[in-house]
Protein backbone atom coordinates (compact mmCIF):
# COMPACT_ATOMS: atom_id res chain seq x y z
CA UNK A 1 0.00 0.00 0.00
CA UNK A 2 1.41 3.38 -1.02
CA UNK A 3 0.53 6.77 0.38
CA UNK A 4 1.47 10.29 -0.61
CA UNK A 5 2.75 12.46 2.21
CA UNK A 6 4.44 15.78 2.84
CA UNK A 7 7.21 16.17 5.39
CA UNK A 8 8.86 19.43 6.33
CA UNK A 9 12.44 18.56 7.25
CA UNK A 10 14.88 21.17 8.52
CA UNK A 11 12.74 23.85 6.92
CA UNK A 12 12.36 22.25 3.50
CA UNK A 13 9.12 20.69 2.27
CA UNK A 14 9.32 17.27 0.67
CA UNK A 15 6.48 15.48 -1.10
CA UNK A 16 6.97 11.76 -1.46
CA UNK A 17 5.16 8.48 -1.93
CA UNK A 18 5.86 5.89 0.73
CA UNK A 19 4.82 2.32 1.41
CA UNK A 20 2.66 2.36 4.53
CA UNK A 21 5.31 0.19 6.24
CA UNK A 22 7.99 2.88 5.90
CA UNK A 23 9.21 4.31 9.19
CA UNK A 24 9.87 8.00 9.48
CA UNK A 25 13.54 7.10 9.90
CA UNK A 26 13.65 5.15 6.63
CA UNK A 27 11.72 7.89 4.83
CA UNK A 28 14.35 10.41 5.93
CA UNK A 29 17.40 8.26 5.27
CA UNK A 30 16.46 6.12 2.28
CA UNK A 31 14.03 8.35 0.43
CA UNK A 32 15.22 11.86 1.22
CA UNK A 33 18.94 11.09 1.79
CA UNK A 34 18.83 12.92 5.13
CA UNK A 35 21.24 10.72 7.04
CA UNK A 36 21.94 12.54 10.29
CA UNK A 37 19.30 10.44 12.13
CA UNK A 38 21.00 7.05 12.51
CA UNK A 39 19.54 3.57 12.59
CA UNK A 40 20.83 1.81 15.69
CA UNK A 41 18.43 -0.77 17.09
CA UNK A 42 15.31 0.06 14.99
CA UNK A 43 13.30 -0.85 18.11
CA UNK A 44 13.07 2.46 19.97
CA UNK A 45 15.66 1.44 22.52
CA UNK A 46 18.86 3.27 21.54
CA UNK A 47 17.80 6.80 20.58
CA UNK A 48 20.21 7.12 17.62
CA UNK A 49 17.28 8.04 15.34
CA UNK A 50 16.02 10.88 17.58
CA UNK A 51 14.53 13.88 15.78
CA UNK A 52 12.34 16.76 16.87
CA UNK A 53 8.89 15.79 15.60
CA UNK A 54 6.44 18.70 15.73
CA UNK A 55 8.70 20.30 18.33
CA UNK A 56 9.25 17.31 20.60
CA UNK A 57 12.02 14.75 20.65
CA UNK A 58 10.92 11.38 19.30
CA UNK A 59 12.43 8.14 18.05
CA UNK A 60 11.79 8.18 14.30
CA UNK A 61 12.16 4.38 13.97
CA UNK A 62 8.85 3.72 15.76
CA UNK A 63 6.93 6.39 13.86
CA UNK A 64 5.24 5.34 10.62
CA UNK A 65 5.84 8.01 8.00
CA UNK A 66 2.26 7.73 6.77
CA UNK A 67 0.99 8.60 10.27
CA UNK A 68 2.94 11.87 10.32
CA UNK A 69 1.54 13.62 7.29
CA UNK A 70 2.59 17.30 7.24
CA UNK A 71 4.93 16.81 10.20
CA UNK A 72 7.59 19.39 11.00
CA UNK A 73 10.88 17.58 11.60
CA UNK A 74 14.23 18.91 12.81
CA UNK A 75 17.31 16.71 12.54
CA UNK A 76 20.84 17.33 13.81
CA UNK A 77 21.62 18.80 10.37
CA UNK A 78 18.93 21.41 10.81
CA UNK A 79 20.22 22.60 14.18
CA UNK A 80 23.18 24.36 12.57
CA UNK A 81 21.68 27.56 11.26
CA UNK A 82 24.26 30.32 11.69
CA UNK A 83 27.19 28.08 12.45
CA UNK A 84 27.05 25.21 14.88
CA UNK A 85 24.33 24.94 17.49
CA UNK A 86 25.73 25.63 20.99
CA UNK A 87 25.25 21.95 21.89
CA UNK A 88 27.14 20.84 18.79
CA UNK A 89 29.98 23.20 19.72
CA UNK A 90 29.93 21.97 23.33
CA UNK A 91 30.13 18.32 22.23
CA UNK A 92 33.25 19.15 20.19
CA UNK A 93 34.90 21.14 22.97
CA UNK A 94 34.20 18.46 25.58
CA UNK A 95 35.19 15.58 23.28
CA UNK A 96 31.74 14.13 24.00
CA UNK A 97 31.94 11.26 21.52
CA UNK A 98 34.22 8.59 20.17
CA UNK A 99 32.80 6.89 17.06
CA UNK A 100 30.12 9.55 16.64
CA UNK A 101 27.31 7.25 15.52
CA UNK A 102 24.96 8.13 18.38
CA UNK A 103 25.99 11.81 18.42
CA UNK A 104 23.29 13.34 16.16
CA UNK A 105 20.62 11.59 18.21
CA UNK A 106 22.28 12.63 21.47
CA UNK A 107 22.42 16.27 20.41
CA UNK A 108 18.85 16.44 19.10
CA UNK A 109 17.65 14.67 22.24
CA UNK A 110 19.54 17.16 24.40
CA UNK A 111 17.93 20.07 22.52
CA UNK A 112 14.48 18.59 23.19
CA UNK A 113 15.41 17.81 26.78
CA UNK A 114 16.57 21.37 27.50
CA UNK A 115 13.27 22.68 26.14
CA UNK A 116 11.33 20.28 28.38
CA UNK A 117 13.34 21.44 31.39
CA UNK A 118 12.79 25.08 30.44
CA UNK A 119 9.06 24.40 30.53
CA UNK A 120 9.44 23.10 34.08
CA UNK A 121 8.94 19.42 33.34
CA UNK A 122 10.13 17.31 36.29
CA UNK A 123 11.99 14.02 35.89
CA UNK A 124 11.83 10.97 38.12
CA UNK A 125 14.91 12.19 40.00
CA UNK A 126 13.50 15.67 40.61
CA UNK A 127 13.29 16.06 44.37
CA UNK A 128 10.05 18.06 44.29
CA UNK A 129 8.00 17.10 41.21
CA UNK A 130 5.50 19.87 41.95
CA UNK A 131 8.13 22.65 41.77
CA UNK A 132 7.73 25.18 38.97
CA UNK A 133 11.36 25.16 37.88
CA UNK A 134 14.02 22.49 37.60
CA UNK A 135 17.76 22.74 38.01
CA UNK A 136 19.69 20.47 35.68
CA UNK A 137 22.41 18.92 37.81
CA UNK A 138 24.36 15.90 36.57
CA UNK A 139 21.82 13.40 37.93
CA UNK A 140 19.00 15.21 36.12
CA UNK A 141 20.94 15.27 32.84
CA UNK A 142 21.77 11.57 33.09
CA UNK A 143 18.18 10.60 33.85
CA UNK A 144 16.69 12.78 31.13
CA UNK A 145 19.18 11.52 28.54
CA UNK A 146 18.78 7.84 29.41
CA UNK A 147 16.91 7.16 26.18
CA UNK A 148 20.11 7.74 24.20
CA UNK A 149 22.67 4.97 24.42
CA UNK A 150 26.36 5.35 23.58
CA UNK A 151 28.22 2.12 22.97
CA UNK A 152 31.55 3.98 23.32
CA UNK A 153 30.37 5.15 26.75
CA UNK A 154 31.23 8.78 26.10
CA UNK A 155 28.63 9.76 28.69
CA UNK A 156 31.27 11.11 31.03
CA UNK A 157 32.00 13.92 28.59
CA UNK A 158 28.45 14.39 27.33
CA UNK A 159 27.16 15.34 30.76
CA UNK A 160 29.47 18.38 31.14
CA UNK A 161 28.88 19.32 27.48
CA UNK A 162 25.14 19.47 28.07
CA UNK A 163 25.57 21.10 31.49
CA UNK A 164 27.56 23.90 29.85
CA UNK A 165 24.64 24.76 27.57
CA UNK A 166 21.94 24.24 30.20
CA UNK A 167 20.77 27.50 31.82
CA UNK B 1 6.68 -6.42 7.96
CA UNK B 2 3.53 -7.56 6.20
CA UNK B 3 1.71 -5.04 3.97
CA UNK B 4 -1.23 -3.28 5.57
CA UNK B 5 -3.78 -0.60 4.82
CA UNK B 6 -3.59 2.65 6.76
CA UNK B 7 -6.76 4.68 7.29
CA UNK B 8 -7.83 7.78 9.15
CA UNK B 9 -11.39 8.26 10.29
CA UNK B 10 -13.15 11.56 10.80
CA UNK B 11 -14.51 10.58 14.21
CA UNK B 12 -14.35 7.91 16.91
CA UNK B 13 -17.44 6.02 15.74
CA UNK B 14 -16.09 5.91 12.21
CA UNK B 15 -12.78 4.49 13.44
CA UNK B 16 -14.58 1.85 15.48
CA UNK B 17 -16.69 0.82 12.49
CA UNK B 18 -13.56 0.44 10.36
CA UNK B 19 -11.76 -1.79 12.87
CA UNK B 20 -14.91 -3.75 13.74
CA UNK B 21 -15.43 -4.57 10.06
CA UNK B 22 -11.89 -5.93 9.62
CA UNK B 23 -11.16 -9.05 11.72
CA UNK B 24 -7.44 -8.30 11.48
CA UNK B 25 -7.77 -4.56 12.03
CA UNK B 26 -6.26 -2.59 14.92
CA UNK B 27 -6.15 0.95 16.24
CA UNK B 28 -2.90 2.93 15.96
CA UNK B 29 -2.16 5.73 18.43
CA UNK B 30 1.44 6.61 19.36
CA UNK B 31 2.63 3.34 17.85
CA UNK B 32 5.58 2.99 20.22
CA UNK B 33 4.68 -0.63 21.03
CA UNK B 34 2.56 -1.68 18.04
CA UNK B 35 5.05 -0.63 15.35
CA UNK B 36 7.80 -2.52 17.16
CA UNK B 37 5.58 -5.61 17.33
CA UNK B 38 4.79 -5.35 13.62
CA UNK B 39 8.50 -5.16 12.83
CA UNK B 40 9.24 -8.13 15.10
CA UNK B 41 6.44 -10.15 13.50
CA UNK B 42 4.43 -10.44 16.73
CA UNK B 43 1.57 -8.37 15.27
CA UNK B 44 0.57 -8.52 11.62
CA UNK B 45 -2.57 -6.46 11.11
CA UNK B 46 -4.13 -5.97 7.69
CA UNK B 47 -5.56 -2.59 8.65
CA UNK B 48 -4.33 0.23 10.90
CA UNK B 49 -6.87 2.89 11.82
CA UNK B 50 -5.12 5.97 13.17
CA UNK B 51 -6.85 7.35 16.27
CA UNK B 52 -3.99 9.54 17.50
CA UNK B 53 -5.93 12.72 16.79
CA UNK B 54 -9.44 11.36 17.33
CA UNK B 55 -9.86 10.92 21.07
CA UNK B 56 -9.37 13.81 23.46
CA UNK B 57 -5.87 15.08 24.20
CA UNK B 58 -7.11 17.15 27.14
CA UNK B 59 -7.03 16.71 30.91
CA UNK B 60 -10.11 18.22 32.52
CA UNK B 61 -11.15 18.55 36.14
CA UNK B 62 -14.41 16.83 37.08
CA UNK B 63 -17.03 18.40 39.38
CA UNK B 64 -16.40 15.76 42.08
CA UNK B 65 -12.74 16.72 42.38
CA UNK B 66 -11.40 14.02 40.08
CA UNK B 67 -9.89 14.38 36.62
CA UNK B 68 -10.69 13.01 33.16
CA UNK B 69 -7.75 12.17 30.94
CA UNK B 70 -8.36 11.90 27.20
CA UNK B 71 -6.99 8.68 25.72
CA UNK B 72 -4.76 10.64 23.32
CA UNK B 73 -3.01 12.63 26.07
CA UNK B 74 0.67 11.77 25.75
CA UNK B 75 2.50 10.20 28.66
CA UNK B 76 4.65 13.35 28.94
CA UNK B 77 1.70 15.72 29.01
CA UNK B 78 -0.03 13.63 31.66
CA UNK B 79 3.06 13.34 33.86
CA UNK B 80 3.86 17.05 33.87
CA UNK B 81 0.28 18.31 34.18
CA UNK B 82 0.18 20.57 37.24
CA UNK B 83 -3.08 19.17 38.59
CA UNK B 84 -1.74 15.63 38.36
CA UNK B 85 1.60 16.60 39.92
CA UNK B 86 -0.18 18.22 42.83
CA UNK B 87 -3.06 15.81 43.48
CA UNK B 88 -1.60 12.48 42.37
CA UNK B 89 2.20 12.65 42.63
CA UNK B 90 2.41 8.83 42.44
CA UNK B 91 1.03 9.02 38.90
CA UNK B 92 3.58 11.60 37.78
CA UNK B 93 6.39 9.58 39.35
CA UNK B 94 5.13 6.34 37.79
CA UNK B 95 4.98 7.75 34.28
CA UNK B 96 8.35 9.47 34.55
CA UNK B 97 9.97 6.24 35.72
CA UNK B 98 8.90 4.44 32.53
CA UNK B 99 10.41 4.41 29.03
CA UNK B 100 12.45 7.41 27.85
CA UNK B 101 11.70 11.05 27.14
CA UNK B 102 11.42 10.36 23.42
CA UNK B 103 8.89 7.55 23.92
CA UNK B 104 6.83 9.36 26.56
CA UNK B 105 6.43 12.29 24.16
CA UNK B 106 4.44 10.17 21.71
CA UNK B 107 3.06 7.23 23.69
CA UNK B 108 -0.55 7.88 24.67
CA UNK B 109 -2.52 7.21 27.83
CA UNK B 110 -4.78 4.68 26.11
CA UNK B 111 -1.86 3.00 24.39
CA UNK B 112 0.15 2.79 27.61
CA UNK B 113 -2.61 0.67 29.15
CA UNK B 114 -2.65 -1.64 26.12
CA UNK B 115 1.10 -2.17 25.74
CA UNK B 116 2.06 -5.82 25.87
CA UNK B 117 4.46 -7.78 28.02
CA UNK B 118 8.20 -7.52 27.49
CA UNK B 119 8.66 -11.24 28.25
CA UNK B 120 11.65 -12.12 26.01
CA UNK B 121 9.94 -15.30 24.79
CA UNK B 122 6.82 -13.39 23.77
CA UNK B 123 9.05 -11.18 21.64
CA UNK B 124 11.09 -14.04 20.16
CA UNK B 125 9.21 -15.79 17.36
CA UNK B 126 11.56 -18.78 17.50
CA UNK B 127 10.42 -19.86 20.99
CA UNK B 128 7.10 -21.29 22.21
CA UNK B 129 4.81 -18.78 23.93
CA UNK B 130 1.18 -19.31 24.88
CA UNK B 131 0.47 -15.59 24.75
CA UNK B 132 1.77 -15.22 21.19
CA UNK B 133 0.78 -18.66 19.93
CA UNK B 134 -1.86 -20.31 22.17
CA UNK B 135 -1.10 -23.92 23.00
CA UNK B 136 2.57 -23.76 22.04
CA UNK B 137 3.81 -23.77 25.66
CA UNK B 138 5.51 -21.35 28.03
CA UNK B 139 9.27 -21.03 27.54
CA UNK B 140 9.73 -18.92 30.65
CA UNK B 141 8.69 -21.69 33.07
CA UNK B 142 11.90 -23.63 32.41
CA UNK B 143 13.94 -20.75 31.05
CA UNK B 144 14.97 -17.22 31.97
CA UNK B 145 12.34 -16.04 34.43
CA UNK B 146 14.02 -13.33 36.48
CA UNK B 147 11.56 -10.71 35.18
CA UNK B 148 8.44 -12.81 35.54
CA UNK B 149 5.33 -12.88 37.70
CA UNK B 150 4.95 -14.35 41.18
CA UNK B 151 1.31 -13.45 41.88
CA UNK B 152 -1.77 -14.61 39.98
CA UNK B 153 0.31 -16.83 37.70
CA UNK B 154 -0.92 -19.86 35.78
CA UNK B 155 0.81 -22.90 34.34
CA UNK B 156 0.27 -21.32 30.92
CA UNK B 157 1.84 -17.92 31.41
CA UNK B 158 4.01 -16.04 33.91
CA UNK B 159 4.36 -12.79 31.95
CA UNK B 160 4.15 -9.44 33.73
CA UNK B 161 2.31 -6.32 32.64
CA UNK B 162 4.97 -3.74 31.79
CA UNK B 163 3.19 -0.43 32.50
CA UNK B 164 4.23 1.79 35.40
CA UNK B 165 1.38 4.24 34.80
CA UNK B 166 -1.24 1.50 35.13
CA UNK B 167 0.06 0.57 38.59
CA UNK B 168 -0.60 4.08 39.87
CA UNK B 169 -3.99 4.14 38.15
CA UNK B 170 -4.90 0.81 39.80
CA UNK B 171 -4.07 2.25 43.21
CA UNK B 172 -6.17 5.32 42.41
CA UNK B 173 -9.28 3.33 41.39
CA UNK B 174 -9.24 4.84 37.92
CA UNK B 175 -12.13 4.09 35.57
CA UNK B 176 -11.67 3.43 31.85
CA UNK B 177 -14.20 4.77 29.33
CA UNK B 178 -14.55 2.78 26.14
CA UNK B 179 -16.59 2.93 22.98
CA UNK B 180 -17.12 -0.07 20.75
CA UNK B 181 -19.45 -1.64 18.21
CA UNK B 182 -21.89 -2.36 21.05
CA UNK B 183 -21.80 1.16 22.46
CA UNK B 184 -20.08 2.86 25.37
CA UNK B 185 -19.18 1.38 28.74
CA UNK B 186 -16.97 2.04 31.75
CA UNK B 187 -14.56 -0.50 33.20
CA UNK B 188 -12.77 -0.15 36.55
CA UNK B 189 -9.07 -0.10 35.68
CA UNK B 190 -8.49 -2.98 38.08
CA UNK B 191 -10.77 -5.10 35.88
CA UNK B 192 -9.38 -3.98 32.51
CA UNK B 193 -6.40 -6.33 32.56
CA UNK B 194 -6.80 -10.09 33.05
CA UNK B 195 -4.94 -12.76 34.88
CA UNK B 196 -3.54 -15.26 32.37
CA UNK B 197 -5.49 -18.40 33.36
CA UNK B 198 -5.69 -20.69 30.35
CA UNK B 199 -6.14 -17.83 27.86
CA UNK B 200 -2.99 -15.73 28.24
CA UNK B 201 -3.36 -14.48 24.66
CA UNK B 202 -5.99 -12.07 25.99
CA UNK B 203 -4.36 -9.23 27.94
CA UNK B 204 -7.57 -7.30 28.63
CA UNK B 205 -11.34 -7.64 28.67
CA UNK B 206 -11.74 -5.32 25.66
CA UNK B 207 -13.64 -6.66 22.64
CA UNK B 208 -12.47 -6.36 19.04
CA UNK B 209 -13.09 -2.81 17.87
CA UNK B 210 -13.49 -1.46 21.40
CA UNK B 211 -11.51 1.77 21.87
CA UNK B 212 -10.38 3.41 25.10
CA UNK B 213 -11.57 7.01 24.91
CA UNK B 214 -10.76 8.41 28.37
CA UNK B 215 -9.64 7.53 31.89
CA UNK B 216 -11.19 9.06 35.01
CA UNK B 217 -9.37 9.34 38.30
CA UNK B 218 -11.69 9.92 41.25
CA UNK B 219 -10.93 12.45 43.95
CA UNK B 220 -8.65 11.05 46.66
CA UNK B 221 -7.52 13.79 48.99
CA UNK B 222 -4.74 11.90 50.71
CA UNK B 223 -3.17 10.96 47.37
CA UNK B 224 -1.19 14.19 47.75
CA UNK B 225 0.85 11.98 50.12
CA UNK B 226 1.76 9.29 47.62
CA UNK B 227 4.79 7.85 45.88
CA UNK B 228 5.78 5.46 43.14
CA UNK B 229 8.98 3.53 43.67
CA UNK B 230 10.50 1.27 41.04
CA UNK B 231 13.26 -1.28 41.56
CA UNK B 232 15.03 -2.29 38.36
CA UNK B 233 18.30 -3.64 37.02
CA UNK B 234 19.45 -0.21 35.76
CA UNK B 235 19.08 3.23 37.32
CA UNK B 236 16.94 4.37 34.39
CA UNK B 237 15.18 3.16 31.26
CA UNK B 238 14.42 -0.40 32.36
CA UNK B 239 11.27 -2.30 33.25
CA UNK B 240 10.39 -2.94 36.86
CA UNK B 241 11.53 -5.96 38.80
CA UNK B 242 9.14 -4.77 41.50
CA UNK B 243 7.39 -1.43 41.74
CA UNK B 244 4.86 0.08 44.09
CA UNK B 245 2.34 2.90 43.97
CA UNK B 246 1.17 3.86 47.42
CA UNK B 247 -0.82 6.60 49.16
CA UNK B 248 -1.09 6.84 52.93
CA UNK B 249 -3.13 8.85 55.40
CA UNK B 250 -2.04 8.72 59.04
CA UNK B 251 -3.92 10.41 61.92
CA UNK B 252 -2.39 10.43 65.42
CA UNK B 253 -0.11 7.57 64.47
CA UNK B 254 -2.93 5.42 63.11
CA UNK B 255 -3.46 4.42 59.48
CA UNK B 256 -6.71 6.06 58.52
CA UNK B 257 -6.58 5.06 54.85
CA UNK B 258 -4.12 3.53 52.43
CA UNK B 259 -3.84 2.53 48.76
CA UNK B 260 -1.20 0.14 47.46
CA UNK B 261 -0.64 -1.43 44.04
CA UNK B 262 2.34 -3.42 42.78
CA UNK B 263 4.00 -3.66 39.38
CA UNK B 264 6.39 -6.22 37.96
CA UNK B 265 4.83 -9.07 39.94
CA UNK B 266 1.75 -10.10 37.94
CA UNK B 267 0.02 -10.28 34.57
CA UNK B 268 -1.87 -7.14 35.55
CA UNK B 269 -1.32 -4.17 37.84
CA UNK B 270 -1.67 -5.84 41.25
CA UNK B 271 -3.84 -3.98 43.73
CA UNK B 272 -2.60 -5.03 47.16
CA UNK B 273 -5.99 -5.20 48.87
CA UNK B 274 -4.67 -7.45 51.63
CA UNK B 275 -2.12 -4.81 52.62
CA UNK B 276 -4.84 -2.17 52.68
CA UNK B 277 -7.27 -4.27 54.73
CA UNK B 278 -4.59 -5.29 57.22
CA UNK B 279 -3.45 -1.71 57.82
CA UNK B 280 -6.63 0.37 58.10
CA UNK B 281 -7.10 1.41 61.70
CA UNK B 282 -3.79 0.02 62.93
CA UNK B 283 -0.74 1.90 64.25
CA UNK B 284 1.49 3.12 61.43
CA UNK B 285 4.56 1.18 62.45
CA UNK B 286 7.27 -0.63 60.53
CA UNK B 287 6.21 -3.92 62.11
CA UNK B 288 2.63 -3.50 60.96
CA UNK B 289 3.68 -2.45 57.45
CA UNK B 290 5.91 -5.50 57.19
CA UNK B 291 3.26 -7.86 58.56
CA UNK B 292 0.75 -6.56 56.00
CA UNK B 293 3.28 -7.05 53.20
CA UNK B 294 3.87 -10.63 54.34
CA UNK B 295 0.14 -11.34 54.07
CA UNK B 296 -0.01 -9.94 50.53
CA UNK B 297 2.89 -12.08 49.31
CA UNK B 298 1.74 -15.25 51.12
CA UNK B 299 0.14 -16.62 47.96
CA UNK B 300 3.14 -15.90 45.74
CA UNK B 301 4.35 -18.77 43.53
CA UNK B 302 7.95 -18.09 42.60
CA UNK B 303 10.07 -19.67 39.88
CA UNK B 304 13.78 -20.39 40.31
CA UNK B 305 14.79 -17.08 38.72
CA UNK B 306 12.36 -14.72 40.40
CA UNK B 307 12.01 -15.91 44.02
CA UNK B 308 13.94 -12.77 45.02
CA UNK B 309 10.88 -10.72 44.11
CA UNK B 310 9.00 -11.91 47.21
CA UNK B 311 11.34 -10.45 49.86
CA UNK B 312 12.02 -7.53 47.53
CA UNK B 313 8.30 -6.72 47.30
CA UNK B 314 7.91 -7.05 51.09
CA UNK B 315 10.82 -4.67 51.64
CA UNK B 316 9.66 -2.14 49.07
CA UNK B 317 6.13 -2.07 50.47
CA UNK B 318 7.46 -1.57 54.00
CA UNK B 319 10.00 1.10 53.01
CA UNK B 320 7.61 3.20 50.93
CA UNK B 321 4.90 3.11 53.60
CA UNK B 322 7.51 4.12 56.20
CA UNK B 323 8.53 7.06 54.02
CA UNK B 324 4.93 8.12 53.50
CA UNK B 325 4.18 7.84 57.23
CA UNK B 326 7.19 10.05 57.93
CA UNK B 327 6.11 12.63 55.32
CA UNK B 328 2.54 12.68 56.64
CA UNK B 329 3.65 13.93 60.07
When pLDDT is averaged across residues B258-269 and rounded to a whole number, the result is 98
Strand runs (DSSP E) across chain B, as ranges? 5-8, 25-28, 47-50, 59-61, 67-70, 175-180, 183-188, 211-217, 226-231, 242-251, 254-263, 270-271
- Whether B36 maps to a domain, the answer reads yes
Cβ contact B5–A144 (<8 Å): no
B208 to chain A, any CB pair closer than 8 A? The answer is: no
Q: pLDDT at residue B250 above 90? A: yes
pLDDT digits 0-9 by tens, B149-206: 999 999 999 999 999 999 999 999 999 999 999 999 999 999 999 999 999 999 999 9
Q: Which pLDDT score, from 0 to 100, does residue A121 have?
A: 98
Cβ contact A58–B85 (<8 Å): no
For residue B177, the distance in angstroms to the closest alpha carbon of chain A comes to: 25
**Domain count of the fold of chain B:** 2
- Whether B125 maps to a domain, the answer reads no
| B36 closest CB neighbour out of A21, A62, A143 | A62
Q: Give the residue ranges of DSSP H helices in B120-202.
A: 165-171, 189-192
Considering chain B, what is the average pLDDT of its residues? 97
Rounded CA gap, B253 and B276, in Å? 16
| A122 closest CB neighbour out of B96, B106, B237 | B96
Cβ contact B80–A119 (<8 Å): yes
Residues in chain A with CB shorter than 8 Å from the CB of B48 are 20, 64
Q: pLDDT at residue B23 above 90? A: yes
Rounded CA gap, B70 and B220, in Å? 19
Given pLDDT bands bounded at 50, 70 and 90, which one contains residue B278? very high
pLDDT digits 0-9 by tens, B75-127: 999 999 999 999 999 999 999 999 999 999 999 999 999 999 999 999 999 99
Q: Which pLDDT score, from 0 to 100, does residue B328 have?
A: 75
B5 to chain A, any CB pair closer than 8 A? The answer is: yes
Cβ contact A21–B4 (<8 Å): yes
- Whether B167 maps to a domain, the answer reads no
- Whether B185 maps to a domain, the answer reads no
For residue B324, the distance in angstroms to the closest alpha carbon of chain A comes to: 14
Task: State how far the alpha carbon of A118 is from the alpha carbons of A73, A113, A122, B58, in Å.
Answer: 20, 9, 10, 22
Rounded CA gap, B166 and B162, in Å? 9
Residue B37, domain CATH: 3.30.43.10
Q: pLDDT at residue B242 above 80? A: yes
Given pLDDT bands bounded at 50, 70 and 90, which one contains residue A167? confident
Domain boundaries, chain A: 2-76, 86-165
Cβ contact B106–A143 (<8 Å): no
Residues of A with CB under 8 A from a CB of B: 1, 3, 19-21, 23, 42-44, 47, 50, 53, 56-59, 62-64, 66-67, 109, 112-113, 116, 119-124, 129-130, 142-148
Q: Which pLDDT score, from 0 to 100, does residue A93 have?
A: 98
Assign domain A2-76 to its CATH architecture: Roll (3.10)
pLDDT digits 0-9 by tens, A50-101: 999 999 999 999 999 999 999 999 999 999 999 999 999 999 999 999 999 9
Q: Which pLDDT score, from 0 to 100, does residue A159 have?
A: 98
CA angle centred on B266, ends B261 and B272, rounded to 5°: 25
Residue B286, domain CATH: 3.30.390.50
Residues in chain A with CB shorter than 8 Å from the CB of B5 are 1, 20
Q: Which domain holds residue B28?
A: 5-50
Q: Which pLDDT score, from 0 to 100, does residue A129 have?
A: 87
Rounded CA gap, B313 and B138, in Å? 24
- Whether B278 maps to a domain, the answer reads yes
Q: Among the three residues B50, B65, B87, which one is the final residue of a domain in this structure?
A: B50
Cβ contact B36–A56 (<8 Å): no
Residue of B nearest to A117 (CA): B80
- Whether B276 maps to a domain, the answer reads yes
Under DSSP, is residue A66 helix (H, G, I), strand (E, B) or coil? helix
Torsions phi, psi of B111, nearest 5?
A: -65, -35
Q: pLDDT at residue A44 above 70? A: yes
Partners of residue A19 on adjacent β-strands: A2
Q: Which pLDDT score, from 0 to 100, does residue B106 have?
A: 97
pLDDT digits 0-9 by tens, B41-52: 999 999 999 999
- Whether B10 maps to a domain, the answer reads yes
Q: pLDDT at residue B228 above 80? A: yes
Residues 222-261 of B with CB under 8 A from A: 235-237
Q: pLDDT at residue B22 above 70? A: yes
- Whether B32 maps to a domain, the answer reads yes
Given pLDDT bands bounded at 50, 70 and 90, which one contains residue B327? confident
Predicted structure pTM score = 0.98
What is the ipTM for the molecules in this complex?
Answer: 0.98
Residues in chain A with CB shorter than 8 Å from the CB of B89 are 129-130
Q: pLDDT at residue B329 above 80? A: no
Given pLDDT bands bounded at 50, 70 and 90, which one contains residue A130? confident
- b/e per residue, B16-55, with b = 16+ CB within 10 A? bebbbebeebbbbbbbbbbbbbbbeebbebebbbbbbebb
* Structural fold of domain A86-165: DNA polymerase; domain 1 (1.10.150)
Amino acid sequence: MDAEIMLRVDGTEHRLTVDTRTSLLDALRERLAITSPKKGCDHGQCGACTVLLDGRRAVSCLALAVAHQNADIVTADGLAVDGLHPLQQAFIEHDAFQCGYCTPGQIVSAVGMLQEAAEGWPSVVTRDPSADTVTLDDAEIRERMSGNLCRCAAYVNMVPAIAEVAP
Amino acid sequence: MRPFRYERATDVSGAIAMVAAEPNGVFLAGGTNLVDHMRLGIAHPDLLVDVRRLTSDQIVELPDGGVRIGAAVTNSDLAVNRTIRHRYPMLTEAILSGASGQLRNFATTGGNLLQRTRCPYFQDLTTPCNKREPGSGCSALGGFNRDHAVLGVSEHCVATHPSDMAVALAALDAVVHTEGPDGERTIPLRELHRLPGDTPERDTVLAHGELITAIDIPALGFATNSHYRKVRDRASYAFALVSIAAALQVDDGTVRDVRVALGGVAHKPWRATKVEEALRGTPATEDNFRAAAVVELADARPLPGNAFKIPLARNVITRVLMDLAEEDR
